[in-house]
Amino acid sequence: MTTTHCVECGSDIILSEDVETGEILDCDSCGVELEVIGIDPISISKAPELEEDWGE
């Protein structure tokens, strides 16, 4: 099990085995959306704000 910390509130974030660079995660503690920006070593940042043309 890999853990890291929320860049907003510092709470533990548990990452799945198959974590991907670019993956979006939610912090269970403060609710902020995070993006995994590197996996070796694990690095996360706040996810970008939603843009108008995002979607399916």
User: Is-contact 13 27, C-beta < 8 A?
Assistant: yes
CB-wise, 3 or 52, nearer to other proteins? 52
Establish if 39 lies at the interface with other proteins (CB under 8 A): no
22: left (phi > 0), else alpha (psi -120 to 50), else beta?
left
Establish if 41 lies at the interface with other proteins (CB under 8 A): no
Binding piece for other proteins, criterion CB under 8 A, among 1-9, 13-21, 38-46: 13-21
CA triple 11-13-14, angle to 5 deg: 145
Residues in touch with other proteins (CB under 8 A): 18, 20-24, 35-36, 47-48, 51-56
